[in-house]
Amino acid sequence: MVSMGYAEVIMETRYEHITLNEDRVPEIAGTTMKVVELVVEQRAYGWSPEELHFQHPYLTLGQIHSALAYYWDHRDELDHDIRRRLERVEELRGMNQPSKLAERLRAQGPGQRR
28-64 confidence digits (pLDDT tens): 999 999 999 999 999 999 999 999 999 999 999 999 9
Return d(Cα 24, Cα 4) in angstroms, integer: 15
Q: pTM for the complete prediction?
A: 0.72
In a domain, 114, yes or no: no
In a domain, 6, yes or no: yes
Please name every residue paired with 27 in a beta bridge, in sequence order, or none if there are none.
19, 34
71, 35 Cβ separation under 8 angstroms: yes
Three-state DSSP at 28 gives: strand
Return d(Cα 53, Cα 38) in angstroms, integer: 10
In a domain, 80, yes or no: yes
In a domain, 85, yes or no: yes
Domain that holds residue 63: 2-109
User: Treating both helix axes as pointing N-terminal to C-terminal, what angle do 35-45 and 61-73 enclose, rounded to 10 degrees?
Assistant: 90
For residue 6, what pLDDT band results from cuts at 50, 70 and 90? Answer: low
Q: Give the number of domains in the chain.
A: 1
Return d(Cα 60, Cα 17) in angstroms, integer: 10
Q: Which is more confident, 43 or 11?
A: 43
What pLDDT, on a 0 to 100 scale, did the predictor assign at position 12?
67
